[in-house]
Amino acid sequence: MIKEKCIKVVIVEDFKLTRVGLRCALNSNSDINVVAEAEDANEGIKLIEKSNPDVILMDLGLPEINGIEAIMKIRENNKKVKIIALTSHDRQEEVVAALSSGANAYCLKDIDPEKLANVIRDVNEGVCWIDPLVADLALNAIPKIEDASIIGENSASHVKVPLTDREFEVLKHLVAGKSNTEIAKELIVSVHTAKAHVCSILQKMCVNDRVQAAVKAVKEGMV
């Protein structure tokens, strides 16, 4: 049965059992449709060009061309598609490499299927998401400022960002790598309200996405 007005997903994963499990779990959602599957990067890139998906689930430990290289190749011709690195790798090098190469999210494979579906929805809407279990690795990779005097008095770091108390709460959850759905649950508000707070935070902080907001918040001691 063909689903209409849904998020089209391509899975690039070399283990068949994992692909089947992901497809079955994701296709149980009325708004998500796995349109293609590939067992290696070369096949995946061809299928992506053909099926024009909204979101790609990309394994990093692929044969021949690994997931990091595949993401870079995809980004050469496609800047709009959303890419989720879905992997069992939890080392800082992989996290930083995946995000630097163009991934919109970094997700560990032991994630709950329902939560993965929510991540796909959030990423499809423009959210950048990092699994809370590896979020610290990404933040720790950012060079620390040892001497604050090197920052000019007129630099952005000296400008107080006018966030409300509620927005500061939401910002703390962003730094923890939580999705809009998780933030809404924590604050007992609707997902729409949580999303509105996030959009307001990004605008006030003059950043483009959640990762940049989290990085800036930590770097400038906002949380």
The CATH number of whichever domain residue 42 belongs to comes to 3.40.50.2300
Give Cα 75 to chain centroid, integer Å. 15
Residue that terminates a domain, selected from 136, 163, 191: 136
pLDDT 10s digits, 146-198: 555 544 444 444 446 778 888 889 999 988 888 888 898 999 988 888 888 88
Instruction: Give domain status of residue 38, yes or no.
Output: yes
Residue that terminates a domain, selected from 69, 103, 136: 136
Say yes or no: 121 and 27 in one domain.
Answer: yes
8 phi, psi to nearest 5 deg: -85, 125
3-state secondary structure of 196: helix
Say yes or no: 32 and 124 in one domain.
Answer: yes
Assign 139 a pLDDT band (cuts: 50, 70, 90): confident
Q: Above pLDDT 90, what percent of the chain?
A: 47
Look at residue 152 in the predicted model and tell me its pLDDT. Answer: 47
Name the percent of the chain in helix, strand, coil, to the closest 5. 50, 15, 35
Q: Centre a 10 Å sphere on the Cβ of residue 206 and count the other Cβ atoms it contains.
A: 12
Look at residue 143 in the predicted model and tell me its pLDDT. Answer: 59
Say yes or no: 162 and 132 in one domain.
Answer: no
Q: Which residues pair with 12 in a beta bridge?
A: 38, 58
Say yes or no: 21 and 92 in one domain.
Answer: yes
Look at residue 157 in the predicted model and tell me its pLDDT. Answer: 43
Are 106 and 148 within 8 A, CB to CB?
no
Say yes or no: 47 and 131 in one domain.
Answer: yes
The domain total for the chain is: 2
Domain holding 164, by residue range, is: 148-219
Average pLDDT, the chain: 86
- What the block records as the tokens of 54 is 């909204």
Are 37 and 50 within 8 A, CB to CB?
no
Look at residue 222 in the predicted model and tell me its pLDDT. Answer: 83
Q: Which residue has the tokens 């290289």?
A: 69
Look at residue 155 in the predicted model and tell me its pLDDT. Answer: 43
Look at residue 13 in the predicted model and tell me its pLDDT. Answer: 96
Are 13 and 22 within 8 A, CB to CB?
yes
Say yes or no: 95 and 170 in one domain.
Answer: no
Say yes or no: 41 and 105 in one domain.
Answer: yes
Whether the per-residue pLDDT at 62 is higher than 80: the answer is yes
Instruction: Give domain status of residue 2, yes or no.
Output: no
Instruction: Give domain status of residue 143, yes or no.
Output: no
Mean pLDDT of 113-117: 95
Assign 200 a pLDDT band (cuts: 50, 70, 90): confident
Q: Which residue has the tokens 């394994």?
A: 59
Look at residue 114 in the predicted model and tell me its pLDDT. Answer: 94
Say yes or no: 59 and 121 in one domain.
Answer: yes
Highest mean pLDDT among 35-49, 78-92, 122-136: 35-49
- The burial class, CB within 10 Å (0-12 / 13-18 / 19+), for 146 is exposed
Look at residue 193 in the predicted model and tell me its pLDDT. Answer: 84
Tell me the Ramachandran region of residue 188: left when phi exceeds 0, alpha when psi lies from -120 to 50, beta otherwise. left
Say yes or no: 112 and 14 in one domain.
Answer: yes
Mean pLDDT of 197-211: 84
Q: Centre a 10 Å sphere on the Cβ of residue 150 and count the other Cβ atoms it contains.
A: 8
Whether the per-residue pLDDT at 144 is higher than 70: the answer is no
Say yes or no: 117 and 200 in one domain.
Answer: no
Assign 207 a pLDDT band (cuts: 50, 70, 90): confident
Residue that terminates a domain, selected from 111, 136, 161: 136
Say yes or no: 125 and 171 in one domain.
Answer: no
Say yes or no: 160 and 109 in one domain.
Answer: no
108 phi, psi to nearest 5 deg: -80, 150
DSSP per-residue string spanning 36-93: EEESSHHHHHHHHHHH--SEEEE-SS-SSS-HHHHHHHHHHH-SSSEEEEEES---HH
